[in-house]
Amino acid sequence: MDSFLDEQPFSEVEPVEQNVVLALVLDASKKDCVSFTVYSVLSDQKVSEIMCGRLCGIGADAGGFVEVKLGEGEEGEAKKFDYALPDAASALKHLTEVLVDQEKGGKVKDLKDVLVIGHRVAHGGESLTKSALIDAGVLDKIKAASDLAPYNNPASIMCIEAAQAVFTECPQIAVFDTSFHATMPSKAFMYAIPKGLYKEHGIRRYGFHGSSYEYVCETASKSLGLTGKLNAIIIYLGEEGEGSSACVVKDGKCIDTSMGLTPLEGLVMATRCGDVDPAMAAHLAKVKGLSVDEALTVLRKESGMKGLCGLTDLTAICAKAKEGDVDCQEACAVYVHRIRKYLGSYYLQLGGHVNAVIFTGETGVTCAALRADVCADMENMGLAIDAEKNTAADASKISEVHMASSKCQVLVIPSDQQQTIALQAVKLTNVAPTHVTKAAPLPVRPSVDVLSALPPSKLGAGQNSLRRSMSRMRTASGFMASIVKRTSIDAARRSVDAARRGSVDGNYQEKKTKCLYVLSLSGRGTVLLELGVCHRIMLKCPSKFGFFRPIANRTPKEEDTHTHLIHSVLRLNDDKKDMCGVDYDTALDLISNGHADELFNRIIEAYEKYSRGKEFVVIAGVTLPVQSMELNMAIASILQTPILFTIKYQKETDDMFQTILLNKQTLDSMPGKNDLQGVIVNRVPPADHEAFKTTFKGALASSGITLAGVTKFDEMLLSFRVNEIHTALKSSVLFGHNNLDRIEAQNFVIAAGTVEQVLSEVSAKSTPSMVLMDARRVDVLLGMLFAVQSTEVKIAGIILTGAAEIPMGIKKLLDSVPNVALPVLMVREATEPVIMKLSKLVPTVMPSSKRKIEYVENMFDEEVGDAFLSSLITKEAKEQVMTPKIFQYRIFKKARALQKHIVLPEGNDKRVVTAAAELVERGLCAVTLLGNISDVKALAVQLQLDLSKVTVIDPATSEHTQRYADLLYENRKEKGMTPEKALDLVRNDPNYYGTMMMVASEADGMVSGAVHTTADTMRPALQVIKTAPGIALVSSIFFMLLPQQVYVYGDCAINVNPNSQQLAAIAVASAQTAMSFGIKPRVAMLSYATGESNTGELITKVREATAEAKALVLLDEAMKAVPVEGPLQFDAAVDPEVALLKVKTPSQVAGRANVCIFPDLNTGNNAYKAVQQASDCIAMGPIMQGLKKP
């Protein structure tokens, strides 16, 4: 049998549908020129350039043109088409024509296929530290940062505004050159100037070329296998107009860069001076009689290489220097000196732990002479460039140019910042991808990657992170299973980024808490629906009721309004903090940084802690500011909760019906098979209510869906409490302080006419109005205050605009009005901006909103039927299926609690050393690595790992080796073991050394097999540790982490052809192992026939083994309830539909088996490999069972 650790190549696969987005990237480096690139972005983040070009001569009356590049590479032909481009909008309109015109090189079939536009923006200032969806607020912030990038930002603003006018329906994203550097610590970004200048004006170092650095960093990380751990110095040497800079990256994040407040600081550039004395601009102004702006223009446009030698093309300058041009030689020397100065500084910042020095940018990848000069004489720093490789480096792809002896790699990586912008734009925009196919592994059963179309908007890298996390639900790690028992380190390593927290015992527990996940198909505005559902369920189930929000308040300091409302109205006794999982900002950060696994695990931990002891918990769906349906379904799937859909009424009922069906299909495809309990339709117009309820109930029933309720709409629900208005406007309160929370307004009336006209308009409203008036309109103010005494006029309050404080004369008049209870607010702004603010106000519900709460409670009492509620409450809580996510979560928790000492004998393997470092870093266990100490430390340095908390022992030199050899001799002398042989084994075979550590009770378990064969790993254990008391047979199982749940397969590694007694023992041992990992076992004894459908020697063996296994479980009090059935075919064991056809008698196992016992090794070994390859799941094992120690 070949080693269970061998990596198996995937077999040929079938094509499956993959989503694609067309993204247009616009880069306005100058006001008169915009470059464009169209990319296709697949849902697996693969990017392909479709076409590119530029728009030139913008703003000129004549001479403008659109240039389209045909073909690939630097030699690609370009076609020019002359147009008058008086402004950017006209330029982009002509671009829309060219994009779809095949004769002009256009490759876009339809402009509607372009779903997102990404803009390169030089400076985001202090407030825009991440790529952002462009709205009025973001555009204002870009404009505010223009002083920091006076040549770049105005050009970008021009392009953005033009694109918004031309591509009116297309979301637009700003990707900032400064974003990548937002991770710099304050010691790197602060200037030593009065701190108030930073706080008030944002004067600090920002850095630029961020998109290029991000692309290069990701490319290098993947190339070196150091994703998230790259330590590198990146040198970006751009051509004229681009500038040059350097950046130092630690663990994949920027910790310092050469450019500062503006792109002028740092390296010497084509026309920019780089670092100079800050007083130089003032000195220039003084001695040359220049203004400050003129002096800065000299430093920006007349300095750098141009100032030193009159040229700006670095390749040409290097050539002339080689020919003996003195000015060019001096210019090159200054240029290189400045780069080396930063290189040395950054080397020290990384403490000498540098994985790579990377050259990028047009000049960086094309000018070999400059690279050679920069890296010259640095061998003592571990950096040695290879002259031949350097000269031969291909500027179009990643190239290694270092010598074999170099400790630090030297790479040449061409930058593609436009590609990065395209990816960011797709990730941050709510777009619906379209078409294309791609090869992908064929699953065991058809399943849908429901997150492949997740529109990520502010989730940043969240789309990819969530998709990866859902993939890990299918292939979730169990590294800790390998700590408790034996498994493949390599397999576990692939998902060691999994959950970091846990909350329950690993032993199986019945799921007793009933629950319901309330999921809105219409996005926001769900709090009243949640309140209504909670109200109805709590009436039926008043004791031990709970409400839980997986993702709650915006920041850790803010109280979640939904939770506060439910807690207050229903008078729950729980701590409100326990009712929330993860705060809003933390959730977005985890997803955008690629840690969706951590998000899910924090939610699991919080929910399991909160729900323990509860009888029923309502879980509120996530309402992030993007379409978050798949995130909701992922959470519901992980928590294994039944679901209630809610949806806002639409006049086009067919659209609403299709939305429900599509989401049910998505739900059905999720791991865990969450049941849809029903649908509540809300905000139905009263006039349509009865007719709609009848017809829609029938339509849903025809698709097997229950209409749980239909709630009517009342405009009162859209009213605002005056306190909401006061908070939104940041107003002063003149009168009515005590009534701000009590009084509600449903209309706004602008007092533009006479008192009589205003009163007439207010009186015409059947619901209370808020009256806006200029603070100088004393007549209207007094008129309203007296009119409110009448029951005919419904006034909720008054807003005085355009005044910082009330005039003394008006105040005296108001003081004369007795008992002013009406809220009177005052704001500085004029009426028009106040109206704009009010138009964006969204109604909320607070515990004091008694009318709204009573209306909702009464409506749900009337419209949500008792039968439906009774079915939710009386239905037995669904038995919890052990999904991969829950499985790994509980293993991690148990490991942290137990804190066992694990020995890893294969310290010469990179994977094992990496795993050891991560295990101790995550606090999962204590680790001892066996191997040559110098070699292990060298690996740690190479991999940038911290092994300070890992014990490293060399068996060849260890002080314990002789003691362990003596112990081995004592245990094996009856079998012919000699002292000399024992010493040789312990000294030279790390598996024997590790085994003897366990025999001496100096280690709790051993994980081996990354390098050694199964036989080599097992031999010492079988010889010395031996079987546990009462166990006559050692066997093995694999945990198969399939999408729907975790299965146990046995025996797939040890026993070749067990007899019936041995097979029964394997079944019982496998069930016990399943229970120890929190799985409630249902054991299927597998054969090629089901029940009495066939006969044969093997079937007879399985039938006898089944009877013996049933007898054995009855002897163990803890296992009496474990069902064992057989013979069963595999499909009848695991597929409920097949089980219905093949198994004619009632069965606790058929269709629900999770422990599958194969009749012999040939069947078991081939079965686990076939399932692993076909489904791309992780097969964890073999895990040995029956030994005294794991």
Three-state SS letters, 630-653 = HHHHHHHHHHCCCEEEEEECCCCH
Q: Give dist(CA 209, CA 313) in Å, integer.
A: 19
Q: Is the dihedral of CA 301, 303, 304, 305 positive or negative?
A: positive
779 is a catalytic site residue? no
Q: Is 1175 helix (H, G, I), strand (E, B) or coil?
A: helix
Q: Give dist(CA 929, CA 947) in Å, integer.
A: 10
List, in order, residues 6 or more apart from 1005 with CB less than 8 Å away. 483, 484, 485, 900, 901, 902, 903, 998, 1189, 1190
Burial 960-980, CB ≥16 within 10 A → b, else e? bbeebbebbbebbeeeebeee
| 8-state DSSP, 739 | G
CB hemisphere CA count around 157 (13 angstroms): 20
CA distances from 39 to 28, 211, 213, 425, 1046 (A): 17, 16, 20, 11, 40
- Tokens found for residue 1058: 């067990």
List, in order, residues 6 or more apart from 474 with CB less than 8 Å away. 447, 671, 884, 1041, 1042, 1043, 1175, 1176, 1177
Q: Give dist(CA 10, CA 655) in Å, integer.
A: 41
Q: Give dist(CA 1171, CA 1190) in Å, integer.
A: 26
Cβ neighbours of 535 (radius 10 Å): 20
Q: Give dist(CA 404, CA 406) in Å, integer.
A: 6
List, in order, residues 6 or more apart from 813 with CB less than 8 Å away. 778, 782
With beta carbons less than 8 A apart as the criterion, state whether 1090 and 1127 touch: yes
Chain Cα centroid distance, residue 881: 25
- Whether cis (ω within 30° of 0) applies to the bond prior to 27 is no
Q: Which of 1035, 1041, 1078 is nearest to 1059 (CA)?
A: 1035
| Helix (H) or strand (E) segment spanning residue 192 | none
List % helix, strand, coil for the chain (3-state, nearest 5): 45, 20, 40
Q: Give dist(CA 928, CA 1003) in Å, integer.
A: 9
Residue from 87, 110, 140, 177 carrying the catalytic annotation: 177
- Tokens found for residue 619: 């879980």
β-strand partners of 515: 617
Q: Give dist(CA 408, CA 402) in Å, integer.
A: 8
Radius of gyration of the chain (CA): 35
Q: Is 983 helix (H, G, I), strand (E, B) or coil?
A: helix
Q: What are the helix and strand counts (H, E) for the chain?
A: 44, 40
Chain Cα centroid distance, residue 188: 28
Task: Please give the sequence-ordered ranges of beta strands (E in DSSP) within 8-165, or none if there are none.
Answer: 15-17, 20-30, 33-42, 47-56, 65-70, 77-82, 114-121, 132-133
With beta carbons less than 8 A apart as the criterion, state whether 492 and 478 touch: yes
Cβ-in-10-Å burial (0-12, 13-18, 19+) of 509 comes to middle
Q: Give dist(CA 36, CA 39) in Å, integer.
A: 10
- Whether cis (ω within 30° of 0) applies to the bond prior to 1182 is yes
Three-state SS letters, 292-345 = HHHHHHHHHHCCHHHHHHCCCCHHHHHHHHHHCCHHHHHHHHHHHHHHHHHHHH
Residues assigned a catalytic role: 177
